[in-house]
Structure 1
């Protein structure tokens, strides 16, 4: 009885708290972004603020320099996060050197765009003058954002700089991870606009304005699926003609202003005479919402992704919830660098412990996709379904941790009800 009471209280509390904390007060609207010229200015301001933190980042990890070398069409992943907004590629050979303690009057970073070999003499002069003892190269074996130095460029660096500097090359994967993952506060306003636009697009797609039962199909790129007990299409959607009574799912995001969203929502296609979804489907969404609450309560800066995952699974067991968690960082990339909680999205074969990426610490000032599914029995259909949700969260502060950027889905989109309702169901 006490256990049942715990569950009832948990869902009751969710009903009271979620409206104010998690749910937008109005339906999502498409947001107009600044002009491309203004976007470039804003992006460069963000880049300058992020780059200015690098000397402190190097000092925190006990290194003196960070050296990158790349060629056009073979850029290091880091390059896309340090370039100017109007740069579209690393021209010729682009070499970038950051120093923890630059010499007086020296730019930091020093950037060369070169196709003559002149860069190597100038780079050697700076190294001799500043004498860094540890020079980070992006050569990590396990993490893409810390292993982006191509083999050819690595061999050129060794040949051109010689054995003295080769012996000072080190691998410190957290430099690249933390640089790319860390957000600046002024990004949040625009990221919230992207998130609302993502919601608005899904709401329009999952409405009678678009979907005509027995005519409209799920066959398209953004992974739209008809949900069945067997369906878990992963990277693919399904190829179904949508019918009344179908449950729909989409995994979708947009890219703009150097940022990415990643959202999963579900919808129900009303049958003739219906005005609402069956209660069993509402209960499934609420279970997935409860899983979201548990994950956010377990997320703390400095804690490993695996620790968050295992703490969440333990609480789910206490509350009798079944499902799977596969959260990931998001930001400059849809799947950004940093700690994952559960097997990386799309590969759910490591549900309890993820080597390497799961052992990384959660970093403050980062964004996360809270991605999961809850199993729930739907008595009206006599079947158990996966209720798959995903929303993006941002770091608030040490006390509050992460909260949703725009909100979260707390009810099914209803196809056949005008306007598409996004209000919390009781």
Structure 2
């Protein structure tokens, strides 16, 4: 028996024109934890240094973030030091466009006199709605009506702050290939014994492997056996893996403040019958190609400035900060989040499915895939170069 990940040779256009390896993916070590923390803190400092320019872009003079320990604002996780685990007691952050150093809050407000003060109070966007109601009450009481009348909700400040990525692709490439290496090892006869191994066993194998690689879990590995037109929930399924099964996994890893999110599929070859299989059935390969083509269509329509809903309509179908291009339960239009613009220098998780009829099973199967992509000026140069190298006759 050999369980094959049959997305391996077909997925293209992933992390900044980093194609899925033609050869088996390899495990690559990330730096030691201490080095990772130093690198991550440098990224955070660079991100914070951009805040004054971001505030001016949205016509704001200050951005006030207030939180208590264990009740942190969503933005806290993007501004904290790498080794901080939460806010200490009450932590108040004031970012502003003035050059003076941060001091006692009220004195700084009196000295600088910002006209519009952004608070994270948005009702619809989680990354811009992290201010707890108790903290808002404290601010209103302590600062008084004079300053609270200047509070405004400007959600794109938080969204763009979190969504705009720094030069992290060197490490993100390593993380992504480690994910592929885990998938190729986990979905193989090294780990799966048909009739014995369960989907839950496989989920725990991925958790143990992540611990061994000194990385943590972003979204827990959810392994499922696809039955009829099933669409497993957040917990995956609890099945014994058998020959002829189609497997699906959705999971992500976390390291250095970066997250991945990947969905792959696999097929368990039938090797014990009179005519043992040596390859994946062509009908399944064709379904995968169809889903890959849909990925390429979405990527081709993603342009900075377009809304997620515009890309959705053009494509005919992350959870991170930024625009959303369709939800499973909202396949035609996504309120609020779908109207946010596609931002440059941002990572996107492209998760989708395509129906394809499989004659051997006499049913249409959803081929569900997800890969992480990076949009930046550099990535577009790499994509054009890769296309030219693969199509030399099209070069000028």
TM over 0.5: yes
| SS of corresponding position for 2:361 | coil
Query: Aligned runs of 1:74-93 on 2, under 5 Å?
Result: 74-93=71-90
2:35 paired with 1:38 = yes
Alignment-derived partner of residue 247 in structure 1: 246
> Offset at 1:386?
0.6
- Aligned equivalent of 1:194, options 138, 155, 175: 175
- Aligned equivalent of 1:374, options 345, 350, 354: 354
> Offset at 1:99?
0.6
Structure 1 residues without counterparts, runs of 5 or longer: 1-13, 112-121, 314-324, 329-334, 404-426
Name the CA shift for 1:101/1:401 in 2 (closer, same or farther; >3 Å).
farther
Alignment-derived partner of residue 304 in structure 1: 307
Alignment-derived partner of residue 100 in structure 1: 97
Mapped contact 2:70–2:86 kept (Cα < 8 A): yes
Name the CA shift for 1:367/1:21 in 2 (closer, same or farther; >3 Å).
closer
C-alpha root-mean-square deviation of aligned residues, in Å? 2.1
Alignment-derived partner of residue 157 in structure 2: 175
2:166 paired with 1:217 = no
Alignment-derived partner of residue 46 in structure 2: 49
| SS of corresponding position for 2:357 | strand
Mapped contact 1:229–1:386 kept (Cα < 8 A): no
Alignment-derived partner of residue 263 in structure 1: 262
Mapped contact 2:121–2:130 kept (Cα < 8 A): yes
**Distance in 2 between the 1:275 and 1:402 partners?**
36
**Distance in 1 between the 2:338 and 2:300 partners?**
18
**Distance in 2 between the 1:102 and 1:153 partners?**
26
Mapped contact 2:13–2:373 kept (Cα < 8 A): no
| SS of corresponding position for 1:96 | strand
Query: Aligned runs of 1:19-34 on 2, under 5 Å?
Result: 22-34=19-31
**Distance in 1 between the 2:176 and 2:10 partners?**
23
**Distance in 1 between the 2:58 and 2:378 partners?**
21
**Distance in 1 between the 2:109 and 2:118 partners?**
13
Name the CA shift for 1:182/1:18 in 2 (closer, same or farther; >3 Å).
closer
Query: Aligned runs of 1:3-18 on 2, under 5 Å?
Result: none
Structure 2 residues without counterparts, runs of 5 or longer: 1-8, 204-219, 384-396
Report 1 or 2 for greater relative contact order, CA contacts < 8 Å, sequence distance ≥ 6: 2
- Aligned equivalent of 1:342, options 326, 337, 348: 326
Give the structure-2-normalised TM-score: 0.85
Alignment-derived partner of residue 230 in structure 1: 229
| SS of corresponding position for 1:265 | strand
**Distance in 1 between the 2:309 and 2:362 partners?**
34
> Offset at 1:399?
8.8
